[in-house]
Structure 1
Amino acid sequence: MKENEILALLQKYQEGTLSNEDQDKLDAWYLHKASTSNLQLSDYELEDSYELLKSKLPLQAEPKVIRLWPRVAVAASIALLLGTGIFYFTKPKEQIIQVTEKAQEIAPGGTRGILTLSNGKQIILANISAKDTIAKEGEEVTIKMGANGVITYIINPDADASKNNPNAFNTLSTPTGGQYNIVLADGTKVYLNAVSSIKYPTQFNGDKRLVELEGEAYFEVAKNKNKPFIVKSDNQSIEVLGTHFNVHAYANESVVKTTLLEGSVAVSFKNQKSILKPGQQSNVSDNFTKIKIREVDTDEAIAWKNGRFKFDNADLKTVMRQLERWYGIKVEYRGDVSDVRFSGGTFMNKNLSEVLKVLELSNIKFKVEGRTIIVYP
């Protein structure tokens, strides 16, 4: 059919006057287009594109929508040629059929981690089934995957202690868009945020329990009065006997933040030591001359552990860095956003587009180009 004939049929559809014969002609035209297209969609995308097609047609009489291509097979075929876009009817200076791209959704992160053993072997944890034995470190330590997907270290009480390897360290790391949980040999629970790593001994011998952290983690330290638990991150050291706290120590963040939820911790930095009380947060930085302590909303500090984004007057770049780590995106700024602050939050299991809608409530504009997010003030 010629273009003017197609436009005439679409006009009749818009007016609700399309006859059965004309409807068959329009179906046939779409089917022909589908057969000559090399684009393919999944069943889900077909249905989604078809719904988008209907929403794009500027219908004037809503009750007349009832008979839009009633045959499901025909509807699917119509959607087939659309690829990631959709045909819709518009009326600029001259009537044409245009194609508009459907924005690709950027999905949230999930449970992903990499375990590096003392011999350098790396294990992708996403491929391990629950209750599997992942590896052994000598005769003394068995590493298992718990039923809830948590890595657990089990000490063999019958092993010959003289054969213990004091230098056996493992490292758990998470990629962009990954989080993972682990129970260390002493029973300490560690929740590791995205783009983070923790290095720890396979069993805690000696008079202290020392681990090294890069990135962010929440600790529930098993109590042991005779063996302090120490977390080293950057130039900071945290010493506890048994408590719950969060450490935020990313390389691309200028401030290392330690937030205490219960118990007490001693934060050491530049030959200084400060004791935190529950509800307090210490801030240390190479730009500071001393440790800064302030009262904070602890729910905000550990929101990530509970599957949420939560911000209280946070600057926009801090917010966007968190989205970069979770969604694997790159952020570019067009204009000065240094004075933009954001308060609020949403769930981390949402697609990025839904999170950006929340941020837009602060009068920020976003443009998505692939996996690059352009921010306009």
Structure 2
Amino acid sequence: MKRMNQAAIISIIEKYAQGILLSQEEEVLLTSWMQQVKPSAFQALLDQCENIPDTFRAYPQMPDTFKATLEARIDQQEQQEKVDSHTGIFYLYGKKIAVAATIALMVIAGSFVYKHYRAGGKEVVAQQQPQNTDPAPGGNRAVLTLADGSTIVLDSAKNGVLSQQGNTQVIKLSNGQLAYNASKSNGEAPFNTITTPNGGQYHIELPDGTGVWLNAASSLRFPASFSGATRTVELIGEGYFEVAKNAAMPFIVQSKEATVEVLGTHFNMNAYEEEGVIKTTLLEGAVKFHDKTAVLRLIPGQQGQLFRNGTMQLIKDADVDQAVAWKNGYFQFDGIDLAALIRQIARWYNLEVVYEDKVPEREFTGKISRTVYLSEVIKALELSDVHCRLNGNRLIVMP
């Protein structure tokens, strides 16, 4: 390996170990290197890395433990006639599961996953590629329903002006984003609805310049232009909002049971009906989160929760990164129960879920890329003793 390339790899490893997202070029370089490197060279390079957590050095310093752990995983997977690959970092009750030095360093958002291990005295390099039946991750998919009931499939629509509604143009930009170009109007504006399916997400800029990112299985109803005393929209599911400032016209998000009022701010609202709680997490600015009887005033870093029984709760030190992880391309969990975890996966991969037995009462903490194929997510679950199989688009969770 050339000295310049070696220095670049060290820099990339240090970035990855510190949780810094890699650029596409860095992912390609690291992936290419992982195809060629031998375990001894891998260890030597790790020794040269200065800015990495001790967990990345722990296993190399314990060769006997490392060997035993790795051989156990190899034996288990050979019985299943599969080669183990593990994308993402998955934890159970805060404990890292089945991670060894040569498995830990993976390109989470890369298109291939490589693993190096010793078996029978020979080095084996495994490349995991998705099968044709392996569900792909979700993507930018949505349908726009106009005021007259006509619909536009946004992911297949051409760039440019999609519709003219009164004084408002609906435009699909070159980056796939939907934007509204509205001039002032004194009349009542028509309402539009953007809907994402299971396996879809979408970014829209509302007529006032507010940016909205919709998660899977969600919808947003909004006017083609804002007029009157407020800017009111209706949310089903989950959305992240970067609200354009307008002190004279508050921005209001209504869900079935809760309302958020803001002037200009960044926040995430999770209002899926199948979940037991509506959550609003504030990143910037200030909001009022309320139902018909109670009000919570949030400051950045806080989360308001409204439970289905009407109880409200304020989380003063909320995990903001977890709340917006979906927007940034990750599943991120912290003490989540299995059923809630599976619901997130099912929405993104467009799955029907069947439990062969009662749902195990277990909690999970971890982080998995939303860009990988479903098989990689299932393997991460398997490493935490959650057993699943796929039958068409039906995910069967086994005891």
Query: What is the TM-score of this pair, normalised by structure 1?
Result: 0.69
Aligned equivalent of 2:221: 199
Aligned equivalent of 1:11: none
- Contact in 1 for aligned 2:325/2:331 (Cα 8 Å): yes
- In 2, the alpha carbon distance for the partners of 1:290 and 1:328 equals 31
Deviation at 1:335, TM superposition (A): 2.9
Aligned equivalent of 1:151: 178
- In 2, the alpha carbon distance for the partners of 1:224 and 1:329 equals 40
Deviation at 1:292, TM superposition (A): 4.0
> After superposition, where does 1:297-312 map in structure 2 within 5 Å?
297-312=319-334
Aligned equivalent of 2:168: 141
Is 2:289 the counterpart of 1:272?
no
Give the partner amino acid of 1:134.
Answer: L
Deviation at 1:278, TM superposition (A): 1.1
| Structure 2: stretches of 5+ with no match in the other structure | 1-80, 82-130
> After superposition, where does 1:195-234 map in structure 2 within 5 Å?
195-234=217-256
| Aligned CA distance change for structure 1 residues 223 and 375 (closer, same or farther; 3 Å) | same
- In 1, the alpha carbon distance for the partners of 2:274 and 2:359 equals 18
Aligned equivalent of 2:374: 352
What is the CA RMSD across the aligned residues, in angstroms? 1.6
Deviation at 1:294, TM superposition (A): 4.3
| Aligned CA distance change for structure 1 residues 103 and 303 (closer, same or farther; 3 Å) | same
Deviation at 1:103, TM superposition (A): 8.0
SS in 2 for 1:295: coil
Give the greater-gyration-radius structure (CA). Answer: 1
Aligned-residue identity in percent: 45
Deviations 1:321-350 (A, max 9, x none): 011111111111233434211111211111
Aligned equivalent of 1:178: 200
- In 1, the alpha carbon distance for the partners of 2:370 and 2:175 equals 20
Is 2:137 the counterpart of 1:108?
yes
- The number of aligned residues is 270
Deviation at 1:221, TM superposition (A): 0.2
Q: Determine which structure has greater relative contact order: mean sequence separation of CA pairs < 8 Å that are 6+ residues apart, divided by chain length.
A: 2
Aligned equivalent of 2:356: 334
Deviation at 1:156, TM superposition (A): 3.4
Aligned equivalent of 2:258: 236
Give the partner amino acid of 2:152.
Answer: I
Aligned equivalent of 1:316: 338
- In 2, the alpha carbon distance for the partners of 1:167 and 1:145 equals 20
- Contact in 1 for aligned 2:322/2:332 (Cα 8 Å): yes
Which aligned segments of 4 or more residues in structure 1 are displaced greater than 4 angstroms?
Answer: none
Query: What is the TM-score of this pair, normalised by structure 2?
Result: 0.65
- In 1, the alpha carbon distance for the partners of 2:294 and 2:178 equals 35
Deviation at 1:366, TM superposition (A): 1.2
- Contact in 2 for aligned 1:272/1:291 (Cα 8 Å): no
